[in-house]
Amino acid sequence: MLQFFDVTKKSPWLPQVKALYESAFPANERIPIKHLLDNKIKREFWAFFDEETFCGFSNSISLGDITNIVYFAVVPELRSRGYGSQILQAIRRQHPDTRIVVDIEVEEDSKDAEELERRNRRRDFYQRNGFEASPFEYHWQGEHYRLLSAGGTITEKEFRDFWKEILKDIPGAKYP
């Protein structure tokens, strides 16, 4: 069973988390990692380990009955071994009474066959783990996203209100 630990500025695994974060997400989809580590927004930033082996990380924000997994990645060499599903299960155990939300890039917008295949695999992974498409899509930082949720659907208004509340005290922050 996977164990998870908080990621902080002093975590010995921060370099591994940072390297995976930068390799797993394109520049236009990332925010500076220092913002993931500051306390302006209450986040759950966890590193996951199978004994001594770093497997991946998750970064999520919860408010009310919504938990939004903002960033989530598994070490490339460990993909397709069930670690991603175990990470999602751990998040669900920590938030049993919330709707868990993730976003994925819209498949139809992919620029080539390889990218389309990656997006389809990502969507299929979430669907196998109990996520269903929500009724809306949005744009952020030049990318087109589709929202998926588990534990109940989420409306566009709920999603936008969630982010409006989360970012209300951060000057210039743009919400989806």
Class of the domain covering 3-166: alpha beta
For residue 6, give the 3-state DSSP assignment: strand
Going residue by residue through the chain, which has 176 residues, state the pLDDT in tens, using 9 for 90 and above.
899 999 999 999 999 999 999 999 989 889 999 989 988 888 999 999 999 999 999 999 999 999 999 999 999 999 999 999 999 999 999 999 999 999 998 877 677 888 888 888 999 999 999 999 987 888 888 788 999 999 999 999 999 999 999 998 888 777 77
